[in-house]
A = this chain, B = another copy of it.
């Protein structure tokens, strides 16, 4: 695997899932694989789960890890070709990425979208330029439009929590929020569920919050939450801002918060969220503190997802 920017970089999704589960059973089985190799993790935005779980994963493989908060530890980067750098950007991505490629064996990048220019964000020009100029494998720690480490952990969690001889029904539902959030997690989850192909997949959102078709793919799209939840085995709750009316909160219908009343419509569904979650805005306490929530083991699986991916990138 050359880079890990989306599910499209994964030649064998089933194999990757098996590898992640194998690491969960035996974390240190490949502890020599990364010895003498360094993972650099560049954060252009805050992170807790990704930051910590990926470090643990890398150490399990014997890798060294260097964490770098780009603008706090260093300086602002210029991404425009041909820029005359007379402003506040101190270094061009061409040098920054190439130099990092001299020091590191794998380069992780977290770079959120600005949510102002859809074409710019959806071109993934930040992470793609790191991949282009660094000459080493690049690992997405969440980019402008996708969060593949999260999605791999999500599929892993679904696989672990469903052992019936039929396809599970997975419903990803929009939920209210108080801030403008990216589409990266829902885009990516949709892309991975589609690539996995072993579930019936429904995406439900209020009108105007439709995801980009390139990620929603063949999912069944609904606008009626109650109807969509019927028979669900898994409910993935998540807020996102509008793709069509880009980066906007076009309305914030609080009746979409996930509660026990909503849960009652499902097939005793397991409830998922990528975290952090705003309690009693996105999901009610009664769900997060109740027996159907699997958000904590879902977060725990981030380690094994990252370890499987790093293992492939080291090859």
Listed in ascending order, the chain A residues whose CB lies under 8 Å from chain B are: 27-28, 36, 38, 40, 43, 46-49, 51-53, 55-56, 59-60, 64, 66, 68-69, 72-75, 78, 82-87, 90-92, 94-96, 98-100, 102-104, 178, 275-281, 285, 288-289, 295-297, 299-300, 302-303
Contacts and interface: CB of A to CB of B under 8 A. Distances in A.
Please give the count of copies of this chain that the complex contains: 3
Contacts of A51: 66, 68, 73-74
Given A73-B43, A73-B69, A299-B102, A95 B275 contact: yes
27 contacts: A28-B36, A46-B73, A46-B75, A48-B91, A49-B99, A51-B66, A55-B64, A56-B103, A72-B72, A82-B285, A83-B279, A84-B279, A85-B280, A86-B178, A94-B279, A94-B288, A95-B277, A95-B295, A95-B296, A96-B276, A98-B296, A99-B299, A99-B300, A102-B296, A102-B297, A102-B303, A103-B302
Contacts of A83: 279-280
A94 to B, nearest CB: 7
Nearest to A100: B52
A300 B98 CA distance: 9
